[in-house]
Amino acid sequence: MRPKLHVVHFRQANHGCQFQIALVRGKNMTQNASVQVEELVREIARALVDEPEAVDVESVGRDENTVLKLHVAPQDVGKVIGKQGRTARSIRTILGAVSMKVHHRYTLDILEEDEP
């Protein structure tokens, strides 16, 4: 049986940014789905920050969990976290929904990029 493909479409009203990502749903977590989830987090973060070129997502895979480490510029950490952590919580909520679809748990760590 072939895995089902789900398309998630996001649009940010203020900036006119649009992106969509296809997520593979199935019993086994595929490398392709993991890369797509990384790209989803990267694009959400790029839409929020002032320095999108400084955004990087590093994936640390474990057995049943993947930690996504989001690196942003020091001055953009507050934008990604948001007031009282609401923006970060929203990103984590999206990751929770994705986790249910692909049957693999994702967690998000927000890290400050070291200045040179």
Name the CATH topology of 4-112. Answer: GMP Synthetase; Chain A, domain 3 (3.30.300)
On whether the pTM is more than 0.85, the answer is no
Domain ranges for the chain, please list them: 4-112
14-24 residue pLDDT tens: 555 555 554 44
Return the percentage of the chain with pLDDT > 90, whole number: 52
Contact 87, 80 (CB under 8 A): yes
46-86 residue pLDDT tens: 999 999 999 999 999 877 889 999 999 999 999 999 999 99
